[in-house]
Amino acid sequence: MNSANTNHLHRNAAWQRLPVEWWECPGELSVPFRAQRKILRQNGHIRACLPRPLRQRGLCGFQSQRSRSSFRAFTILELLLVVGIIGLMAAMALPHLGGLTKGNAITAATRQLLDDVALARQRALVNRSEVCMVFLPASFWTNDTTNIYASGAPGGFWTNQQVANLFAHQYSAYALIALRSVGDQPGRSNVHYLLNGTWKTLPQGIYISPFQFTNAQGPGSTNWITTTNTTSGLTNIWPVTPFPTNILFPFPSTFTANSNILPYICFTPSGRLSTNTDQFISLTSGSALFLTNTDGTPQPVNLVETPPGNASNNAYLIHIDWLTARAKIERNQF
């Protein structure tokens, strides 16, 4: 036997079983067996624990009460307070969401019109032809020269699906029409729709100002629209006139024998406007009510501006210069 094992104290330290209790630590903590530990005698038992730095972080039983307190949940009162603050902030922000959506819609409408005005000018230059941007007025079926779509004609309005679809887009639909095609013989023109023969519509809630579709104030009447730039201190007054209506266009497409008197802006082959004066497209926001009579014939549209008079007070104008036929936006800037 080894002489080291004959020592009584050493033999007891090597072979005597001692009651040892390991304190459980919170979480899935793996304590290495070789880790430095401190042995404490308490009530006749030996307790083993981790070194002091780990105990101070609440990883051992000596700090069990503190570690349990660090995992406290929220009380109902605290949750109700947070929910109340979130509800108050939402209530304050909700009234402004409508204005944000409306602002995005009118910005999208101006961008759309600017792009299509540029396209009409480009097609006029490339094809050496007059290209007109035509607009859909209210009660457009009453301007039909063949009276097929006029109110009172038995089923006439709904016989053409394209015409029926345009009923809900009065004041907000437009199309591009070329008065000639490449290769047309002199004196003979082949009128055709661009954009694949489709009518484009503005975003919902955005319309072209109704006063541009009527000459109720007399031929050549003018609405004076004011825009202000508070940064530069400049105020401009723009003469916005109704669209001309002296050309008959095939309607609603070139595949029908019907024609209609439609308001328009025309671009010449030289890249100018045919009117030799600046043209404007005034936009307004609001809601329109489209109804039909008991016999199925359509009623005139009822357009309500929101807020009232915003076409003049908060103007969004597409300004087309007559000499270059290039468009830009004129609006109030605060």
Q: What average pLDDT does the chain have?
A: 77
Greater confidence (93 vs 68) lies with 93
Which of these, 140, 168, 169, 105, lies nearest to 259 by C-alpha position?
A: 140
- pLDDT greater than 90 at residue 177: yes
Distance in angstroms (rounded) separating the CA atoms of residues 204 and 109: 9
Beta carbons within 10 angstroms of residue 289's beta carbon: 10
All structural domains of the chain, each given as residue ranges with its CATH number in brackets, are: 18-69 (no CATH), 108-331 (3.55.40.10)
pLDDT at residue 54 greater than cutoff 60? no
Q: Residue 19: phi, psi to the nearest 5?
A: -70, 120
Instruction: Output 70 or 109, whichever has higher pLDDT.
Output: 109
pLDDT classification of 156: cutoffs 50, 70, 90 = low
- Residue 290 above 60 pLDDT? yes
pLDDT band at 37 (very low <50, low <70, confident <90, very high): very low
The residues, ordered by sequence, that sit 6+ positions from 313 with a Cβ below 8 Å of its Cβ are: 307
Q: Is the pLDDT of residue 58 over 90?
A: no
Q: How far, in Å, CA of 254 to CA of 267, rounded? A: 20
Q: Give the model confidence (pLDDT) of 183-228 as tens digits.
A: 777 777 788 999 888 899 999 999 999 989 986 544 557 788 888 8
Q: Is the predicted pLDDT of residue 229 greater than 70, yes or no?
A: yes
Helix or strand holding residue 206 (H, E): strand 206-208
Tokens 């919902």 locate to: 204
The answer on pLDDT for 295 being more than 50 is: yes
Mean pLDDT of 129-143: 91
Q: Is the pLDDT of residue 62 over 50?
A: no
pTM for the structure as a whole: 0.68
**Winning range, highest mean pLDDT, from 21-25, 265-269, 329-333:** 265-269
Cα 139 from Cα 23, distance rounded (Å): 88
Residue 284: strand pairing partners: 207
DSSP 17-40: ---EEEPP-SSS----TTS--EEE
For residue 78, name the pLDDT band (cuts at 50, 70, 90): confident
How many Å from the N-terminal Cα to the C-terminal Cα in the chain? Answer: 102
The pLDDT value recorded for residue 17 is 52
As a whole number of angstroms, the distance between CA 3 and CA 184 comes to 123
Question: How high is the pLDDT of residue 283?
Answer: 92
Q: How would you class 263 by CB atoms within 10 Å of its CB: exposed for 0-12, middle for 13-18, buried for 19 or more? A: buried
Residue 46 has pLDDT above 60, yes or no: no
